[in-house]
Amino acid sequence: MSIENLLPGRLGFGTAPLGNMFRAIPDEEAAATVQAAWDHGIRYFDTAPFYGAGLSEIRLGEVLSGMPRDAYVLSTKVGRIILDEAEDPAARDLGEKGGLFEHGRPNKMVDDYSADATLRSIEDSLKRLRTDRLDIVWVHDVAQDFHGDEWLTRYDTARTGAFRVLDRLRDEGVIKAWGLGVNRVEPLEVTLDLDEPRPDAFLLAGRYTLLDHERALQRLLPAAAEQNVDIVVGGPYSSGVLAGGTHFEYQQAPAEIVAKVERIKALAARHGVGIKAAALQFSLAHPATVAAIPGATRPSRVAEDVAALAETVPAAFWTALREEGLIAANAPLPA
């Protein structure tokens, strides 16, 4: 099924930053940010055990447990089990994403895409989130950026384990939808080529943004649109560099990316356009994309996101981006 009808709007709230990504956030600030998202009418919240070794789920659950459960849509992820034993968060092997949650909880994280681990992961998430059900479950990071040359082996475990379990849970009505949540297009392309199981949607982070979209446009997005597999865009600001931050792909942005952002900003300024509005509206212009879920750690940022989605962006701005070669010639533009 399409999840477009399940999602309550085009703008959701991504909670990776609430797991103390890049910095330690006080509990009060995290709670105030979730509350701000709610107060601005956002009703889709996405989280994962990986975000701070359960910290993001715990913080999200604190606030949402006080809200009527039927009033919002909730997604989390499977593929990692959080244990009670401790480890050094800064010393974890996270592939290309080293040090990502070094300020998170010290609980040991184990990668496991098997059927049993999937069921256990869901059970653990429900407890941390203080809820009785999940709407969408994503299979998390089963891709090369985390698993290197082993990624296809991990993918196969997920295909025969997590995928089938989630397919069954959806068919039984335990969850409403499932898919993959990744930072790479390859596992999604592979999944679309399978006869079964059939995911409902994908959460694609950082691969359909103003800064990085050419690869996704080649095959993934046309195939997803054709097969009615919706795309939720994660990381529409490319880890923050498109929103005044210094990170790209979860690390310090390299010089060529910073230079490209400066060129986009200059055009935006010339046309009186906010950079966040440009980034958000570009990501949502493709027919396959149904929502974007920027993350935030301050209440004011949520207000900016809501305003960015509503901002009127002149057509001349998109034309200028295209003429300067800053976006692909075949990228659909906002109407």
What pLDDT was estimated at residue 98? 65
* Catalytic pick among 46, 141, 145, 200: 46
Element (H, E) at 107: strand 107-111
77 is catalytic: yes
250 is catalytic: no
Q: How far apart are CA 80 and CA 111, in angstroms?
A: 4
Cβ-contact 321, 331 below 8 angstroms: no
What pLDDT was estimated at residue 295? 93
Beta bridge partners of 203: 181, 232
Cβ-contact 249, 207 below 8 angstroms: no
Cβ-contact 43, 72 below 8 angstroms: yes
Of the chain, the percentage scoring pLDDT greater than 90 comes to: 85
The H-assigned helical ranges of the chain are 27-39, 55-64, 115-129, 144-147, 151-160, 162-171, 186-192, 214-215, 221-226, 255-270, 275-283, 299-310, 315-323
156 is catalytic: no
What pLDDT was estimated at residue 93? 77
- Give the dihedral of Cα atoms 260, 265, 267, 270; nearest 10 deg: -160
* Catalytic pick among 44, 77, 145, 237: 77
**pLDDT tens per residue across span 271-328:** 999 999 999 999 999 999 999 999 998 999 999 999 999 999 999 999 999 999 999 9
The H-assigned helical ranges of 46-114 are 55-64
Residue 254 has pLDDT above 80, yes or no: yes
- Confidence band of 10 (pLDDT split at 50, 70, 90): very high
What pLDDT was estimated at residue 114? 98
Q: How far apart are CA 263 and CA 281, in angstroms?
A: 18
* Catalytic pick among 27, 39, 44, 51: 51
pTM (whole model) above 0.75: yes
Residue range 109-128: mean pLDDT, rounded:
98
- Confidence band of 239 (pLDDT split at 50, 70, 90): confident
Q: How far apart are CA 124 and CA 122, in angstroms?
A: 5
* Cβ density class 230-243: b for 16+ within 10 Å, e for less: bbbbbbbbbbbbbb
Residue range 177-198: mean pLDDT, rounded:
96
